[in-house]
Amino acid sequence: MEPVISHGESQTMNRSSESNQESFTAEQIRAMTPNNLRRFVDKTVCIKCGNNNEEASGIVYTVDPVSTSFVISNFADNQGKKSNLTVIPGHSLRLVTVTGICNEEQKQLLTEAFGNFVNSNKTPISDLESRKAELLQWFAKNRIPAQLAGEHDELIQVTDALFIEPPYQPENCLSRNEIILGKVQSLVKSMPT
């Protein structure tokens, strides 16, 4: 999958042709939309942070779209039974280099280690599709421009400022604009069921 690059990012992104590594400065990362920040999830990275350019590396578990803080995981043993999570605050970022993509085994280890916290309320796919369609209709009824986004149309994009992830509840709204976030969350809450 080719990463989504918003206008202007492609000119300043550093890419090493020999190793196919991508490097992003703190300014580039702060300017990314929540959807663009998703490109880092399940990737192996090396992050330089702080005034002394301290390094941290591991697999990106998630990125907070508001603070641009990275949560990376390192497995302490080969069986994946122990994992360390490290939070790199967005304000301390200097350079993020994507060094590779984690393999299926590593993804499985992450899911086993942390899946209970994130996916404790599994919603059947048919219910998700129904909820997504109802929400799109609700936005259309309220004259809010919304469309499907994401690699598999799993996201709802409201203008360019907000994304809604499955299971499409108010807490699944992602935006840097707190005013839009609050208004869309209120609209999602008010949707009749």
Phi, psi dihedral angles at 29 (to 5 degrees): -65, -45
- Looking at residue 14, its pLDDT comes to 47
pLDDT exceeds cutoff 90 at 162:
yes
Domain positions in the chain are 9-118, 125-189
pLDDT tens column, 57-103: 999 988 998 899 999 988 765 555 667 888 999 999 999 999 999 88
Topology adopted by domain 9-118: SH3 type barrels. (2.30.30)
pLDDT tens column, 3-28: 333 333 333 344 444 457 899 999 99
Q: Within the chain, what is the greatest distance between any pair of CA atoms?
A: 54
Determine how many CB atoms are found less than 10 A away from the CB of residue 91: 12
Query: Does residue 19 contact residue 76 with C-beta atoms inside 8 Å?
Result: no
Strand partners, 70: 63, 88
pTM of structure:
0.56
Q: What number is the average pLDDT over the span 50-61?
A: 90
